[in-house]
Structure 1
Amino acid sequence: MDLRLVNVGIAVRDLDATIAFFTDLGMTLQGRDEVSGDWADTAVGLDGNHARIAVLQTPDGQGALELFEPIHPAGIEVEPAQANTIGMHRVAFQVDDLDAALAIAARHDAHPLRGVANYEDVYLLTYLRGPSGILVMLAQDLQRNPLATT
């Protein structure tokens, strides 16, 4: 059996703001659409399913996010997941310059939860809250980019 990951889907409260955040970090908008109809109801298991969607791809072409803003049924607000919440709770990106990535995130009012950690002089990494409370991990490989200033 051939198996490959196509994308990770994330429900968001503001599609445009979330697209702006991830494209500023370097992802590319692949497309936008609005979906509804019997096929959408069947696929996701919701009657009257209607959502605005966007697909963003990583610069290396290997990863993608499908963002969706529910129109009907309305989105359900929950507390953002914590790092120990069971189930999917974060999306992680490797960056070549963590300081630059954090400056971009700050323009979207997204800041490290506690600071930047140095993992055994191999990675600098941090978690931050992006749009809609999305938990985002950013990591810089110090073996590939040894001139870290953080």
Structure 2
Amino acid sequence: MSIKLENVGIVVRDLEATISFFTDLGLTVLGRDTVSGEWADTAVGLDGNRADIALLQTPDGYGRIELFEYLHPDAIESDRTRPNEIGMHRIAFSVDDIDSSLEIAARHGYRPLRGVATYQDLYRLTYLRGPSGIIVMLAEDLRGRG
């Protein structure tokens, strides 16, 4: 048996704002659709669901996220997750320049939870709370720098 990670799905409040954030960071939109019907009810396990969706991909072609904005039933607000909570934790991206990536995030109104840390002179990294409260980790690999 083989297995391959296809994507990570994330429910968001505002699909357009979330797409804007992730495309500004460098992801590209592979496709968009509105999904509903019996097949969606069966697959998702939620009767009468209808959602606008977008599939985004990282520039390397491997990482994908699928964003959902539920039109019906209404999305349910939940408490913001904390980094130490059990369950879905965060989405992480390797970036070439963390400072430039943080400038992009700031233009969207998102800033690090605390600051940028250096891990054993190998990585500079940070967590920020992005669209719909998503925790986003940005990490810059410092190996190979002059």
TM over 0.5: yes
Q: Deviations over 1:37-95 (max 9, x none)?
A: 00000000001010000000000001100000011111000111110010112000000
Which TM-score applies when normalising by structure 1?
Answer: 0.96
Report the Cα offset of residue 120 of structure 1. Answer: 0.5
Match of 2:18 in 1: 18
Whole-angstrom distance in 2 between the partners of 1:122 and 1:79 = 33
Q: Could you tell me which amino acid in structure 2 is paired with residue 76 of structure 1?
A: I
Corresponding residue SS for 1:41: helix
Match of 1:116 in 2: 116
Query: Percent identical across equivalent pairs?
Result: 67
Structure 2 unmatched runs, 5+: none
Q: Could you tell me which amino acid in structure 1 is paired with residue 78 of structure 2?
A: V
Which TM-score applies when normalising by structure 2?
Answer: 0.98
Q: Could you tell me which amino acid in structure 2 is paired with residue 131 of structure 1?
A: P
Match of 1:89 in 2: 89
Whole-angstrom distance in 2 between the partners of 1:38 and 1:9 = 20
Corresponding residue SS for 1:96: coil
Q: Deviations over 1:78-134 (max 9, x none)?
A: 111110010112000000000000000001001000000000100000000110000
Report runs of 4+ in structure 1 exceeding 2 Å deviation.
Answer: none
Match of 2:125 in 1: 125
Q: Give 1:36-115 correspondences, 5 Å limit.
A: 36-115=36-115
Q: Could you tell me which amino acid in structure 2 is paired with residue 54 of structure 1?
A: A
